[in-house]
């Protein structure tokens, strides 16, 4: 059964770094990474690191092609075979059993019904071939694809936030986890205390602000300990 892990939170909170670290902590598992954040930082970071070209197509461009207007100026709902074909070559391979998909910077969060159906069918079938789908960032249209019973949300926050980083209007089955990144120690801020209570979040980690010479070794292990506190069906973590 595929596990779906979605990292959400404000820009600069460390979602992209933790997404990359998760791939190192799960050797032997097939992983699909999805760059769903508005700034699309994960894609250039990982493609440069692995010396591969960025994806030729994004979810945004694939849906635009599938739903291009016909001769009468109106788009026709694509057939399942066309959707399968369009999604087949969407990902780029980063390493052994690790693939990457980019959402595209302008993928609408409120897709037309036909586009959302195509996304749910195509991305859902593709994702189901992996042990883990790891999503960097929250995107409403992508979030709607995942089966609620298999989705684990992780809120990544900084210690000094002033607004809630939790997306609104979510209906979740699993208790969301909370990671406070670059935590200086001491008590949580009033905003974070409120966030935990308001959304019934499970505190799974307070990650220190590591020095540069400590970060490479200490942060992956600390994040692994966070994942161990979650109900993720990946026994070899």
Question: Which domain CATH number covers 139?
Answer: 3.40.50.300
Strand pairing report for 92-95 and 177-183: unpaired
CA distances from 218 to 96, 206, 209 (A): 24, 13, 10
Number of domains in the chain: 1
Q: How far apart are CA 177 and CA 7, in angstroms?
A: 9
CA pair distance 61, 107, nearest whole angstrom: 9
Q: Is pLDDT at 234 greater than 70 in this prediction?
A: no
| Residue at 233 is within a domain | no
Burial level of 104, CB count in 10 A (0-12/13-18/19+)? buried
Tens-place pLDDT, residues 190-214:
999 999 999 999 999 999 988 877 8
pLDDT above 90 as % of the chain: 50
Instruction: Taking residues 45-50, report their average pLDDT.
Output: 86
Between CA 226 and CA 210 the distance in angstroms is: 16
Is 85's pLDDT higher than 60?
yes
Pick the residue with more confidence: 77 or 84?
84
Q: Is residue 197 part of a domain?
A: yes
Give the C-alpha distances (Å, rounded to integers) separating 74 from 31, 95, 105, 124.
Answer: 37, 41, 24, 26
pLDDT tens figures, 212-233: 778 778 888 888 889 888 877 6
Residues 6+ apart with CB under 8 A from 235: none
Q: Which pTM does this prediction carry?
A: 0.90
DSSP 50: T
Instruction: Work out the pLDDT band at 78, boundaries 50, 70, 90.
Output: confident
Range of the domain at 10: 3-228
User: What is the reported pLDDT for 116?
Assistant: 94
Instruction: Report strand pairing: 151-157 vs 92-95.
Output: unpaired
Does residue 192 sit within a domain?
yes
Domain assignment of residue 70, yes or no: yes
Average pLDDT, the chain: 88
DSSP per position, 103-133: --TT--SS--HHHHHHHHHHHHHHHTTSSEE
Q: Provide the token pair at 159.
A: 């210690």
pLDDT of residue 24 exceeding 90, the answer is no
pLDDT above 70 for 2: yes
What's the average model confidence in pLDDT over 126-153?
94
- pLDDT value for 193: 94
Is 231 or 107 the better-scoring residue by pLDDT? 107
Q: Measured between alpha carbons, how far is 85 from 224 in angstroms, rounded to an integer?
A: 36
Please tell me the distance from the alpha carbon of residue 52 to that of residue 158, in angstroms, as a whole number: 32
**In Å, what is the CA distance from 55 to each residue of 30, 59, 112, 136?**
19, 10, 24, 16
* 214 part of a folded domain: yes
pLDDT for position 237: 52
- Answer yes or no: is 237 within a domain: no
Is the residue at 52 inside a domain? yes
* Residue 55 within any structural domain of the chain: yes
């Amino acid at each position: 059964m595929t596990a779906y892990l979605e990292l959400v939170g404000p820009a600069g909170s460390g979602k992209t770094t933790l997404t990359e670290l998760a791939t190192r902590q799960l050797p032997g598992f097939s992983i699909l990474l999805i760059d769903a954040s508005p700034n699309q930082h994960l894609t250039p970071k990982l493609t440069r690191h692995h010396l591969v070209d960025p994806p030729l197509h994004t979810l945004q461009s694939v849906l635009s092609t599938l739903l291009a207007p016909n001769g009468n100026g109106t788009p026709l709902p694509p057939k399942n075979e066309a959707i399968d074909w369009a999604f087949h070559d969407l990902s780029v391979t980063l390493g052994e059993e690790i693939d990457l998909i980019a959402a595209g910077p302008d993928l609408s969060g409120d897709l037309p019904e036909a586009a959302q159906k195509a996304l749910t069918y195509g991305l859902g079938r593709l994702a189901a071939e992996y042990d883990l789908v790891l999503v960097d960032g929250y995107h409403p249209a992508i979030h709607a694809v995942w089966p609620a019973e298999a989705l684990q949300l992780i809120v990544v926050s900084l210690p000094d936030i002033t607004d809630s980083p939790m997306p609104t209007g979510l209906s979740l089955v699993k208790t969301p986890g909370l990671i406070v990144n670059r935590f200086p120690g001491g008590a949580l801020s009033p905003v974070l205390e409120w966030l935990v209570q308001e959304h019934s979040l499970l505190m799974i980690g307070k990650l220190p602000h590591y020095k540069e010479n400590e970060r490479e070794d200490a942060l992956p292990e600390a994040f692994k300990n966070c994942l161990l506190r979650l109900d993720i069906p990946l026994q070899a973590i």
